[in-house]
Amino acid sequence: MTPNAATFYDDGPRVVTVHDLTLLDYNTSRGTGFAKWVKGLKRIPFRWILSRQVRHATHITVGAGYVKDQLQGRFGIDESRITVVPLAADAAHLVATKADAVTGLSDQDQFLLYVGNYYPYKNVKILLEAFAEVSKNQPQLKLVLGGKVDEFQRVLVQRAQSLGLQDKVLFTGFIPDGQLKWLYEHAVMFVYPSLSEGFGLQGLEAMTQGLPVLSSTSSCLPEVYGEAAEYFNPSSADYLVKKIELLLDNPKRLEELKDAGYARVKQFSWRRMAEQTLEVYKQANR
């Protein structure tokens, strides 16, 4: 017999993992006008399904305390039913492959790096606007944006052109692991302007390669990066301009961030994550 919705939610223990609640706050639908509005309607069933899942879960795992607090505040989930199980970053197995095939960069180029997708909540537009100001005094500096080609990226390409940055901003598209490692190793700093994250894995990956991280103060990012990153208010490009210029003029601070990053990533472990997750499942099944 096929169970109905009521019996499904009553049928044994279950563990739900919630990575983030970004879709509740930001519309990631593609298209324009009516088409975008129609696609945005998917957030309604998503909200309902998520609510049902977390309310009926035996236990919930999240990657950061920030998401735990969100679940408690939005859905009234008791703290005892949520366990924070942090992710980790490990790029030791990767072998660097020169990235000139993707970007045209050389060992002598000086560049800032962003890696991720281009949804509006990633706030890459602010990064472009800040870079336009920084490049006036740093004409040799470039900005490398690594992420797959999509509709949101094309909007940013147009914005870069309108700012006169077409020769200074490199949109790489998808980057193979080896070339990504090369970019991490050769960039001046990793800039992460995102407005909403459930963990912020990219910044931690950058730290594994000794790349200083400049992060927004939004969501869980300060919790994950701790004192191993420099931070800026992501609401205005002006804040980001000041922090980029400050770091470019302070090699000692960049070196401090590099060392702090190496120390920070040691606090995270995939093995520990797996062990904690397994223990949650065991407890839920008792």
Confidence of residue 161 (pLDDT cuts 50, 70, 90): very high
Percent of the chain with pLDDT over 70: 87
CA-closest candidate to residue 257, choices 193, 209, 220: 209
**pLDDT-based confidence at 201, cuts 50/70/90?**
very high
Single-letter residue type at 67 = V
Task: Tell me the β-bridge partners of 229.
Answer: 213
Which residues touch 187 (CB under 8 Å, ≥6 apart)? 111, 112, 113, 144, 211
Other CB atoms closer than 10 Å to residue 20's CB: what's the count?
20
Measured between alpha carbons, how far is residue 9 from residues 21, 24, 57, 112, 182 in Å? 22, 23, 8, 48, 48
**Residue linked to tokens 């924070």:** 84
Tell me the CATH architecture of domain 5-88+270-284.
3-Layer(aba) Sandwich (3.40)
The per-residue pLDDT for 28 is: 75
Q: Is the pLDDT of residue 150 over 60?
A: yes
Query: Could you tell me which CATH number the domain at 100-265 has?
Result: 3.40.50.2000
Identify which of 22, 88, 84 has the alpha carbon closest to the alpha carbon of residue 59: 84
**pLDDT tens track for 224-280:** 999 999 999 999 999 999 999 999 999 999 999 999 999 999 999 999 999 999 999
At how many degrees (to 10) do helices 177-186 and 201-208 cross?
70
DSSP string, 140-172: TEEEEEES---HHHHHHHHHHHHTT-TTTEEEE
**Confidence (pLDDT) at 2:** 36
pLDDT at 125 over 80: yes
* 37 pLDDT above the threshold of 70: no
Rounded to 10 deg, the angle between the 124-137 and 237-248 helix axes is 50
pLDDT of residue 8: 46
Residue 101 has pLDDT above 80, yes or no: no
Per domain, the residue ranges of the chain are 5-88+270-284, 100-265
Determine if the pTM surpasses 0.85: yes
Averaged pLDDT, 7-16 = 72
Same fold, 5-88+270-284 and 100-265: yes
Of 80, 16, 27, nearest in space to 49 by CA = 16
Residue 76 falls in which region: left (phi positive, over 0), alpha (psi -120 to 50) or beta: left
Decide: helix, strand or coil at residue 190: strand
pLDDT digits (tens, 9 = 90+) for 272-281: 999 999 999 9
Q: What is the pLDDT of residue 46?
A: 77
Which amino acid, one-letter code, is at 214? L
Q: How many other C-beta atoms lie within 10 A of the C-beta of residue 251?
A: 10
pLDDT, position 228: 98
Quickly tell me which residue has 């980057």 as its tokens. Answer: 175
The average confidence (pLDDT) of the chain is 89
d(CA 77, CA 57): 10
